[in-house]
Amino acid sequence: MGDWVRVCGTSELLPGEKTVAWDGDVAILVVNYDGDYYALEDVCSHEDFELSAGCFDGDEATIECVLHGSKFDVRDGRALNPPAYSPAVRFPVKVEDGAVWTRDDRD
């Protein structure tokens, strides 16, 4: 299991905003949904394309892949419409000392 990676200060990622952090060679999309932080692997499960390139809907808690229009719920990673059927990989997030942290916790 990887070490925690500092993403940013909590004041740097406001509600409705997104950013990308790196844990080694893994890009992790981190979003602030209404004051709660969520992290997904920055890859669409349908095709190898960056989810961070898409729009984050802060009202619906979704990120849309710009390649084919699949949407994912950022809270749990589940795919909400075709052509994606598999969920996006979800990573843990913690807030500590005024900063947002995440890590790739896959073995």
Please check the confidence at residue 1 and state whether its pLDDT lies above 70: no
pLDDT tens digits, 11-22:
999 999 999 999
Question: What count of other Cβ atoms lies within 10 Å of the Cβ of residue 18?
Answer: 21
Q: What's residue 75's pLDDT?
A: 98
Angstrom distance (rounded) from CA 59 to CA 61: 6
Rg (CA), the chain: 13
pLDDT tens digits, 67-78:
999 999 999 999
In a domain, 90, yes or no: yes
In Å, how far are 29, 64, 66, 86, 92 from 32, measured between CA atoms? Answer: 10, 15, 20, 23, 14
Q: What's residue 45's pLDDT?
A: 96
Backbone torsions φ then ψ of 30, nearest 5 degrees: -120, 130
Q: Tell me the residue range of the domain where 40 lies.
A: 5-98
pLDDT tens digits, 35-65:
999 999 999 999 999 999 999 999 999 999 9
Tokens 């619906």 — which residue? 60
In a domain, 103, yes or no: no
Per the structure, how many domains does the chain have? 1
